[in-house]
Structure 1
Amino acid sequence: MKILIVSDTHRRDGNLTQVLDMVGQIDLLIHCGDVEGSEAFIKSIAGCPVHMVAGNNDFFTDLAQEEEFEIGKYRVWLTHGHHYYVSVGTEAILEEAESRGVDIVMFGHTHRPLIFTDPQTNVTAINPGSISYPRQEGRRPSYVLMELDREGNAHYHLSYL
């Protein structure tokens, strides 16, 4: 199973279209928020099921603020992250993820990519960065490909345009 994880497109969807062309067929698209009105467009080009939440700039949307769902054997919590102070660190969001009993928390907001597994709780935090407005050193648009192998184990690949 191949899952594309993106965030913070901010209605600049050209890079997302490019990434979809590059990675080929995917089984699931996950958007961590700040779509700014492109919900229908993103769903139309994904070619697969889509999980998408509202971000702090998604003012006029029916998207949920958060969502929990399963990917294989993993329980996933999807949120934009701004309510959990992710701009100053991952402590609050990891604490909340542990209290929810999830295996993976996916979030955006910072425009900086991150893949981190907490050694104490074994919760994996994934932030794909921004595919449109990156803020990390080098400022390259980023996304994460998550793949489940034959045994159902997750592997994460941070990728750049």
Structure 2
Amino acid sequence: MRRITIWLLSTVTALVLLFSYRTSTMGVGGGTSAVAVDRGGATPGTGDTSTGPPTGDSGSTGDSGDSGGGRYDGSVAQTRWGPVQVRITVAGGRITDVTALQVPDGNFRDQQINDYAVPILRQAALTAQSARIDTVSGATVTSDGYRESLQAAIDAAHLR
């Protein structure tokens, strides 16, 4: 009888420990991200402190129908690890800035990946002046979502 009791308690303890184990993809891992994620306020690093009305998917905060200038939001790309959305700033028919409005940040590893990948994707988009940019190694899902949202923003701005 004593052996059965010990075996039962050991089994229950093992099951409780097994089901309480939290993986890295199950929630917030803490820490802060260095990626500038604009939540509808100023565009980081530009000194622009104006706040416009919230925009929806492929919305425009710039001149509608004119690719001369303004800010254009891409659609929200739903990826495996979370939503990705970018905003482009257009001046003189050229993309002058790309800001990540949303990137996956559900845990510390997502933040690490995006701290590395988003600046590379931004620079590639500014250089290419299009959504035809390379995938960042180790950030395939974010890169795919970034390209999708970037293309929607470019379409909204009526650029090439």
TM-score by length of structure 2 reads 0.29
User: Greater share of strand residues, 1 or 2?
Assistant: 1
TM-score by length of structure 1 reads 0.29
